[in-house]
């Protein structure tokens, strides 16, 4: 049964993504919405999981602001949002800058856990692409 679920999820994912690159839908005014579906099979644990990560974004002043969360659709035993806890919503902002002739991005991020009502650590960083 697990093999059939893995095969079906993989086939659906490949069919949906065949020959195209997924992008968020632009709603206008800098707003966008999108999602990522992550299908994983852990060979050591022999467990298949599916996670959906919806995201809403806003672009303004050269910066990208996003809010996203992870929703477990399949935990290896059953389908559905079977979480006993509330999800954490992550908030991020990125700003592309030219530095030393490299493509670089300054970023900041944090999260909010609705179950514990606590903020996660604030992270600041600088990414370089070369």
CB count within 10 Å of CB 13 equals 14
Name the burial class of residue 53, with classes exposed (0-12), middle (13-18) and buried (19+) by CB atoms within 10 angstroms of its CB: middle
- The sign of the CA dihedral 68, 92, 76, 15 is positive
Per-residue pLDDT of the chain (130 residues; tens, 9 = 90+): 455 445 555 555 544 444 444 567 778 888 999 988 888 888 887 888 888 888 999 988 888 899 988 888 877 777 776 566 667 888 888 888 776 667 788 889 989 888 888 888 888 888 877 6
Q: Chain-centre distance of CA 36, in angstroms?
A: 6
Alpha-carbon distance 67 to 91, whole Å? 5
Alpha-carbon distance 16 to 22, whole Å? 9
Please give the backbone phi and psi of residue 7, each rounded to the nearest 5 degrees, phi first: -65, -45
Phi-psi region of 101 (alpha: psi -120 to 50; beta: other; left: phi over 0): left
């Amino acid at each position: 049964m697990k093999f059939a679920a893995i095969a079906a999820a993989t086939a659906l994912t490949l069919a949906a993504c065949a020959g195209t690159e997924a992008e968020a839908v632009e709603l206008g005014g800098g707003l966008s919405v999108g999602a990522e579906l992550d299908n994983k099979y852990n060979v050591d644990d022999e467990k298949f999981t599916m996670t959906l990560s919806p995201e809403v974004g806003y672009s303004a002043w050269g910066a990208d602001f996003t809010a996203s969360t992870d929703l477990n659709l399949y935990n290896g035993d059953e389908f559905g949002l079977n979480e006993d806890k509330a999800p954490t919503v992550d908030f991020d902002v990125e700003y592309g800058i030219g530095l030393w002739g490299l493509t670089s991005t300054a970023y900041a991020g944090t999260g909010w856990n609705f179950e514990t009502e606590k903020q996660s650590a604030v992270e600041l960083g600088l990414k370089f692409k070369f």
